[in-house]
Amino acid sequence: MAGLARTGFSIDPDLLERFDRAISGKGYQNRSEAVRDLMRDYLVSEEADKNKVVAGTLTFVYDHHRPNLTEKLVEAQHQAGSQVLAATHVHLDHHNCLEVVMMKGRSGAIRDLSNRILSLQGVKHGQLVITSTGKELK
């Protein structure tokens, strides 16, 4: 295992058993990779908390029959400039559309844009997922 550091820690046996069941259900072959992923999740949330550059996706469902909503969604994305990398739009049924907006920028700006979009009348549900740009994670 060249290039890897070994470490150890103490943990309650019941907690370890629950953890093993959970990671097995997700397909992890060993604890090490599961713990590395948990560490990466924590570090990504730290990046976001410090307003660093992150990547994110905003996924939302909206009523495309709501007057002027489509124009407001497009305008919000255009105002964001280079933060919006791409958007994907699909029709779920006669009234509902699903849109995924892919973004990169400071976490505060991405959250602000997401909140502006999600607060528009006619947007039924949405969620922002922030992840790393990958530069600071191994």
Beta-ladder partners of 57 = 102, 129
Q: How high is the pLDDT of residue 47?
A: 87
Report helix angle 107-118 to 31-49, nearest 10.
80
Mean pLDDT, to the nearest integer, of 91-107?
97
Judged against a pLDDT cut of 90, whether residue 26 lies above it is answered with: yes
- Count the neighbouring beta carbons within 10 Å of the beta carbon of residue 8: 5
Q: Is the pTM of this model over 0.85?
A: no
Judged against a pLDDT cut of 90, whether residue 23 lies above it is answered with: yes
Q: How high is the pLDDT of residue 1?
A: 47
DSSP string of 67-87, one letter each residue: TTHHHHHHHHHHHTGGGEEEE
From CA 105, how far away is CA 68, in angstroms rounded?
27
Q: How high is the pLDDT of residue 2?
A: 64
Judged against a pLDDT cut of 80, whether residue 133 lies above it is answered with: yes
Q: Mean pLDDT for the chain?
A: 93
* H or E stretch at 24: helix 13-25
- Count the neighbouring beta carbons within 10 Å of the beta carbon of residue 35: 15
- Residue 138 pLDDT grade (very low, low, confident, very high; cuts 50, 70, 90): low
Beta carbons within 8 Å of 84's beta carbon, 6+ residues apart: 77, 78, 101, 102, 103, 113
* H or E stretch at 62: strand 53-63
Over the stretch 47-71, which tens digit does the pLDDT of each residue have? Answer: 888 999 999 999 999 999 999 999 9
- Residue 135 pLDDT grade (very low, low, confident, very high; cuts 50, 70, 90): confident
